Amino acid sequence: MNSLPAANPQQAVVIGGGIVGVCCALYLQREGHRVTLVDPAAPGDSTAKWSCGQMAVSEVIPLSKPGILKKIPGWLLDQKGPLALRPSALPGILPWFLRFVANARQAKIVEIAQAMTTLTEHVYQDYAPLLDACADKTLLGDRPILEVFDSPAGVAHERPHLELRKALGFASEELDAGAIAELEPSLAGKFQHGLLFPDWRAVSDTEGFIAALTQSFIDQGGVRVREQAKRIDCLADRATGVTLASGKRLPAEHVVVAAGTGSRQFFAQLGVAVPLAGIAGYQVVVPEPGVEVRHSVIYADGGFCFAPMTRGLQIGGTIEFAGEGAEPNFERAEIILAKARRILPELQTARLEYGVGYRPFLPDTKPIIDRSARLPNVLMAFGHGQLGLTLGATTGRLIADLAAGRAPAQNLTPFSAKRFALIGGLA
């Protein structure tokens, strides 16, 4: 049920029109705020567009799993692997990696997973009112997600993580060759080992999903400005609005910074120093694949995902630490396309579209959902890594709580920007 409009609606500006930004805008709008959403790109053209489109509700275990340090030399040597590190990026990314590795202890992994679960367990509940307001009722599919492996060793490697997920309330089922073939006929005879995640779902199209939510925001009176935000305007210890690159000023009682990796340009004004890195994720869209893929399917050993969407079959997920400002290397997309052809030799690739999204990662793979200590009426919502789509609506709800001065239902201490200011800086 929508919140009642405020008697004296306040103005809010949300910087960043990706999935997190538009969900923040929608939830503020539900509180009665007059909201302006600022982003230089077209609606839907964001990092989450170039994702697998999954509501990965049990993907709560951080990337910093035990043994990660031993893998770094391999990443440097094998630029065709699922996760690559450009040698030129190593000096700049090293401080980030040190923090990353500090989160590889088992106790830390459990702590992070428990904190992330407090967010992901509310995903569908939080998206429900936003999707109900959209004209298209097919934006979110109803099929679960599959993960397939080349050998039983892959499932065995995942088993400790599956047990942790189970302890946190998430379900999974092991699949044999017959079950995989029944669920996904295009993979019949190709995989004998797999997992089913019954509580995951996939959107019908990542670009269309974000664009539809944006249109709903506009239809309900929101304003979207296609321009670059230049700075947050301040008076003493309060933000008074946002100035755009054109010089136009947007007054506001509340400002939300939800611009993914683009949020970094405001860190000095916000008084935060957090190690936010943009990690490249490559995708290729096959508009007319000539083969039916019914589910979103993660190919674990290949390091990528088959994601059927209304605009075609999207294949991607391979990631790269390239360094700030580095040009995209679309050979990464060609590598996964070649792997996909080996699994689906009937795949028709006469027409292709390549893309890259820079996932905003923090070393502990938790987002920042917080209030600026320097400018208390500026709220921060960034650093969601690979879970921006999953956590968009939940983040929006929590940001609306903070704007209203309410105590959120979830404890936001694990998602505070201050966690990176601890002694040693390795939080």
Would you state the pLDDT for residue 4? 43
d(CA 22, CA 20): 6
pLDDT of 75: 67
Per-residue model confidence (pLDDT) at position 3: 45
The per-residue pLDDT for range 199-246, each reduced to its tens digit, is 999 999 999 999 999 999 999 999 999 999 999 999 999 999 999 999
Residue 364 in tokens: 């502990």
Q: Which residues in the chain show pLDDT less than 70?
A: 1-8, 66-69, 71-72, 75-77, 79, 81, 422-427
pLDDT value, residue 210: 97
Residue 76 has a pLDDT of 66
119-147 pLDDT tens trace:
999 999 999 999 999 999 999 999 999 99
Q: For residue 115, give the amino acid letter.
A: A
| Whole-model pTM over 0.75 | yes
Sheet hosting strand 368-371, strand order edge to edge: 223-225, 34-38, 11-15, 254-257, 378-382, 368-371
* Matching CATH number, 11-49+208-275+365-421, of 3.40.1010.10, 3.30.420.590, 3.40.1350.10, 3.50.50.60: 3.50.50.60
Side chain identity, residue 401: D
Any bridge partners for residue 355, and if so which? 283
Residue 225: per-residue pLDDT: 98
Q: What residue segments make up the domains of the chain, in order of their start? A: 11-49+208-275+365-421, 70-114+141-202+276-361
Alpha helices per DSSP H over 321-368: 331-343
Fold of 70-114+141-202+276-361: D-Amino Acid Oxidase; Chain A, domain 2 (3.30.9)
Q: For the packed helices 388-404 and 106-120, what is the interaxial angle rounded to 10 degrees?
A: 70
Return the H-helix or E-strand segment holding 303.
none
